[in-house]
Amino acid sequence: GAEPESEDCRVSGDVRAGQRRVPACKDYLDLFRNLLSCDQMMDSLLADEAFLFVNSSLPSLNRLLYDEFVKSVLKIIEKLDLTLEKQSVGEREDESEAADVWVIPTSDPAANLHPAKPKDFSAFINLVGLCREILPEKHVEFFEPWVYSFAYELILQSTRLPFISGFYKLLSIAVRNAKKIKYFEGVGPKSQKQSPEDPEKSFCFALFAKFGKE
pLDDT of residue 133: 94
Q: Is this model's pTM higher than 0.75 or not?
A: no
Tell me, yes or no, whether 139 lies in a domain: yes
Full residue range of the structural domain in which residue 68 is found: 26-84+112-187+197-212
Q: CA–CA separation, 129 vs 165, rounded Å?
A: 12
The stretch 159-169 carries a mean pLDDT of: 94
**Residue 55 pLDDT > 90:** no
Tell me, yes or no, whether 104 lies in a domain: no
pLDDT of residue 165: 94
Tell me, yes or no, whether 66 lies in a domain: yes
Q: CA–CA separation, 180 vs 166, rounded Å?
A: 21
Higher pLDDT, 10 or 173: 173
Beta bridge partners of 84: 115
How would you classify the pairing of strands 113-115 and 84-86? Answer: antiparallel
Q: CA–CA separation, 65 vs 46, rounded Å?
A: 24
Backbone angles phi, psi at 79, to 5 degrees: -85, -25
Tell me, yes or no, whether 167 lies in a domain: yes
**Residue 75 pLDDT > 70:** yes
Binned at pLDDT 50, 70 and 90, residue 40 comes out as confident
Higher pLDDT, 32 or 38: 32
Tell me, yes or no, whether 5 lies in a domain: no
**Residue 17 pLDDT > 60:** no
* Total domains, the chain: 1
pLDDT of residue 196: 56
Tell me, yes or no, whether 21 lies in a domain: no
* Range name among 28-42, 112-126, 141-155 with the lowest pLDDT average: 28-42
**Is residue 116 a contact partner of residue 81, using CB atoms and an 8 Å limit?**
yes
